[in-house]
Amino acid sequence: MKKALVLGATGCIGEYLVPELAKKGYMVDGVALYPKEDTEYVRYLKVDGLDIDVIRDLVTKTHYDTVIDLMLYIGLETFKKRYEIFLKNTDHYVFFSSYRVYADSETPIKEESDRLYDVVSDPDFIKDCDIEYALYKAQQEDLLRSSPFENFTILRPTMVYASRRYQLVGLEAPVFLKRAAQGKKVILPECARNICAALIWSGDAAKLISGIVNNQKAFGETYTICNGEKNTWEDIAKLYKEYANLDYEFIDTNVYMSLFKEDLPEYRKHIYDRFFNRITDPAKILEATGFKKENFTFLKDGLKKELATIPKDFLWWEHPLDKKMDELIENNR
């Protein structure tokens, strides 16, 4: 049997990807800080995936046919210390970038669409490559492409949702779903109301990724993990209202953005991603994997399924944005 190493095996993508690989006949080692129970074909390793010495030891002592790397390496230098370790010690290294590398586009995003890193003109944004996710992901992609190796594939997933991760414009589950559970209103920026967002259910993302693994045609290639579905942020807010009793209101964008005035990366995430019209074209990933567009679980069904499984002990830690939103709502009544 082929062996796969998944770094970040119990995260939003890993929770569906690991069993999908096992179903396809892989013996899977899943690296996670919070491992699950082992199964016949899956062994979880309680290991810090950012510990370079531990990971080097793993991949040099065991031959893995594929290493699927779901870890977040902040900045270029962090990745520089690791990428050759993977490329030299596996047949196929699957690197996770992000759809956020793409610039704004008036046409559906394709793999050859412009990247922010290559076209953005904001000097203050560009100089912060070490902290700006969209920029350092692009640099990490370029590092792989400039290497003498060809046994890699770059994946750019759109926003992925599953049982512990959900998005609403720039808000994440611990803020807006907690507020929904408490009967509190959530405020959203008016400019995003009719902007299309790109989301994909984790289970579908896992199927697409598993179709790329050890696929020789995918070596040296880049793919967007997407489904091409078109939903505006208001469409998505309405689904959260239906499935999670979310009370929301679109307000002046500048007032909303004052929530993030002390958090530059979050502020820029809105400006350089959430306020872009993210319509995607899945043609390349569908051709590579043989997955059919009609087999996607689209948002209205995927959200309903996942929101029904949220654990009762989830979301109840305090998030600083929650208090700020309370204050902003009170001050703007």
Instruction: Give residue-wise pLDDT tens across range 295-305.
Output: 999 999 999 99
Question: Looking at residue 331, what is its pLDDT?
Answer: 87
User: CA 191, CA 133: separation in Å to the nearest integer?
Assistant: 22
- Cβ pair 165, 266 in contact under 8 A: no
pLDDT the model gives residue 163: 77
Local confidence band at 316 (pLDDT 50, 70, 90 cut-offs): low
Distance CA(186)–CA(325), nearest Å, equals 8
Query: What is the model's pTM?
Result: 0.96
pLDDT at 313 over 80: no
Q: What percent of the chain has pLDDT over 90?
A: 92
Q: Is 169 exposed, middle or buried (0-12, 13-18, 19+ CB in 10 A)?
A: buried
| pLDDT for res 59 | 96
pLDDT tens track for 247-276 = 999 999 999 999 999 999 999 999 999 999
Distance in angstroms (rounded) separating the CA atoms of residues 3 and 214: 11
* CA–CA dist 155, 68 (Å, integer): 10
Residue 258 in tokens: 């004052």
The residues, any chain, with a CB within 8 Å of residue 49's CB and separated by 6 or more, are 7, 8, 31, 32, 33, 55, 71
Residue 158 has which token pair?
């759109």
User: What is the Cα–Cα distance from 222 to 102, expressed in whole angstroms?
Assistant: 13
Q: What is the mean pLDDT of residues 306-332?
A: 84
Cα gap 166→263, rounded to integer Å: 20
Tokens of 130: 């070490």
Would you give the distance in Å from CA 109 to the centre of its chain?
16
CA distance 325 to 174: 13
Phi, psi of 225 (to 5 degrees): -85, 100
Q: In terms of Cα–Cα distance, which of 144, 164, 162, 163 is closest to 154?
A: 144
258-274 per-residue burial string, b: 16 or more CB within 10 A, e: under 16: ebbeeeeebbbbbebbb
pLDDT tens, residue by residue, 280-289: 999 999 999 9
pLDDT digit string, tens, across residues 139-179: 999 999 999 999 999 999 999 999 789 999 999 998 999 99
Q: List alpha helices for the chain, DSSP H.
A: 14-23, 52-61, 76-80, 83-89, 116-119, 123-126, 133-146, 173-181, 202-212, 233-244, 253-257, 264-269, 283-289, 299-307, 320-331
Buried b (16+ CB within 10 A) or exposed e, 116-141: bbeebeeeebeeeeeebbbbbbbbbb
Helices 233-244, 173-181: axis angle to 10 degrees equals 40
Contact indicator for 48, 22 with CB cutoff of 8 Å? no
Average pLDDT taken over every residue of the chain: 95
C-alpha span between 237 and 304 (Å, rounded): 13
Average pLDDT over residues 188-202: 98
Please report which helix (H) or strand (E) contains residue 272, including its range.
none
